[in-house]
Every structure is written in C-alpha cells, then in structure tokens.
C-alpha cells in the first residue's frame, strides 16, 4: 500500500467510510468531494476529521471553485476516484426531464471532474483517474436502466479519453462493481452469482491502490470487473 493523495468524488456515504478506513492505514491524504445537499449525511457519520468539500456536481463553476479551494489548501491530487451512483429513478415512472438532469449530474458531472483534475495532473506530470461503475450496466434490467445506461456512458468516456490522457502520463481506467454492501445488485442478478457472499470492500480498495500505482502505467482505458464471477462472458 502506497501513500498518495486521493480526491474521491462520491455521493455514496458507505463508500466514504470504507475508503477512509482502508486508506488511512497508508497515511494517504484523502479528500472527499460530495454534493452540497448530502453534507449533513456525510458529516453525520464517523467521518469527521477527514477533508470534505461540497459542490454542485451540475455546475462547472462550483466544481472549479471547490478544486481551487482544495489546491489552495496545500493539497495536490495523485488520483481521482469518481463514484457517483445515488439514483432512485425508475424507468417506468421517470420523468424524462429528471432523466436528463441525472445525466447532467452523473455523466457530465464525472466528465467535469475528469476535465478539471486532469489539468492539475498535467502540471504535476502524472496522475490516475478511476471511474467506478456497476457491473449490471452490461447486464441491465429495465427498472434501473436510468442509472445503468449512465454507467455505460462513463465506461465509453473512460476509454475515449484514456488515449488522450496517457499522452500526459495520466492513466484513466474503470472498475465495475458486483455485489458490495454499498452497491447492491438486484435480486435477479444475485441469482446468477457463482458465490453467495458479497464482495469484501478491502478487495476493492486494494484494486484501487493497484490501479493508482504509478508503476502500473501500461493499463490504459481498461475496465476491471470485481464482481465475484457475475460476468462470465467474453
């Protein structure tokens, strides 16, 4: 495990806890950027003491201001983790304006952070971007397709930008999650799992640590499944 500086963009509070618990052992600098309206939920947990910044994922200017505040606070960023997955929109009941707003929040939000942080990483001469997705985006159910189709879009974005970013020594990859207690698969998906247990968050954190490692610079635009064997197709 290597000490480095992480910026974690997320609206998943349980993920915040697991990430903190694992990477504090490495004496890494961990900065969380969470949506403004989730402030009380995040700070209500045992995460007090970590660096939290709040911004509007829908607004480029708000993101730029948060990143400026982070950097002006003496931080630099080695690794950006994008894990935006808080969504309760159901295909059968969704208003299409809400669907569009969700893409603005999640897909364009991820793109906004990638764009802004990549500029800082270029100045530093290296960096790593990891987008965290749901494995069900490749085995989608219709109820959750609002979220899952956004994940596929981010997978495309990951691969599309990887070649450009690596010219500046910035790796861009993604991880597709199976059943973790902060990313539960639906019941039908669980029926097709080779193992009954949910994933151990430490295994995911270990994978993040591996992908963020500057010695692994030949893994570019890759998507790694950590799903207990759920996806067994070519």
Contacting positions for another protein (CB under 8 A): 60, 91, 96, 99-100, 103-104, 107-108, 111, 114-115, 118-119, 137-142, 145, 148-161, 163-164, 221, 234
Q: Which two tokens stand for residue 167?
A: 């010219």
Minimal distance, residue 60 CB to another protein, in Å: 7
Minimal distance, residue 173 CB to another protein, in Å: 13
- Of residues 27 and 164, the one with the C-beta less far from another protein: 164
- Of residues 25 and 188, the one with the C-beta less far from another protein: 188
Strands (DSSP E) contained in 91-201 are 127-134, 170-177
- Of residues 115 and 123, the one with the C-beta less far from another protein: 115
Helix ranges, 125-200 (H): 145-166, 187-191
Minimal distance, residue 221 CB to another protein, in Å: 8
Minimal distance, residue 97 CB to another protein, in Å: 9
Q: Which two tokens stand for residue 6?
A: 């992480």
23 within 8 A of 78, measured Cβ to Cβ: no
- Of residues 23 and 105, the one with the C-beta less far from another protein: 105
Q: Which two tokens stand for residue 94?
A: 């969704």
Minimal distance, residue 188 CB to another protein, in Å: 9
- Of residues 103 and 210, the one with the C-beta less far from another protein: 103
Strands (DSSP E) contained in the chain are 5-10, 29-35, 51-55, 79-83, 127-134, 170-177, 223-226
Where does residue 73 rank: exposed (0-12), middle (13-18), buried (19+ CB within 10 A)? exposed
């Amino acid at each position: 495990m290597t000490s480095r500086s992480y910026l974690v963009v997320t609206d998943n509070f349980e993920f915040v806890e697991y990430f903190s618990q694992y990477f504090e052992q490495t004496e890494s600098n961990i900065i969380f950027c969470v949506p403004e309206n989730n402030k009380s939920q995040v700070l209500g947990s045992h995460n007090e003491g970590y660096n939290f910044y709040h911004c509007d994922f829908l607004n480029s200017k708000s993101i730029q201001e948060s990143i400026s505040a982070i950097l002006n606070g003496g931080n630099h960023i080695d690794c950006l983790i994008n894990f935006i997955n808080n969504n309760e929109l159901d295909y059968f009941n969704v208003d299409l304006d809400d669907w569009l707003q969700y893409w603005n929040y999640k897909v364009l939000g991820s793109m906004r952070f990638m764009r802004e942080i990549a500029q800082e990483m270029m100045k530093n001469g290296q960096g790593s971007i990891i987008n965290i997705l749901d494995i069900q985006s490749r085995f989608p159910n219709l109820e959750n397709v609002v979220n899952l189709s956004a994940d596929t879009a981010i997978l495309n974005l990951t691969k599309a930008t990887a070649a450009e970013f690596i010219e500046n020594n910035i790796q861009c990859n993604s991880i597709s999650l199976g059943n973790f207690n902060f990313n539960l698969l639906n019941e039908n998906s669980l029926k097709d799992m080779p193992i009954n247990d949910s994933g151990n968050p430490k295994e995911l954190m270990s994978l993040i640590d591996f992908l963020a490692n500057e010695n692994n610079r030949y893994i570019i635009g890759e998507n790694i499944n950590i799903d207990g064997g759920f996806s067994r197709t070519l």
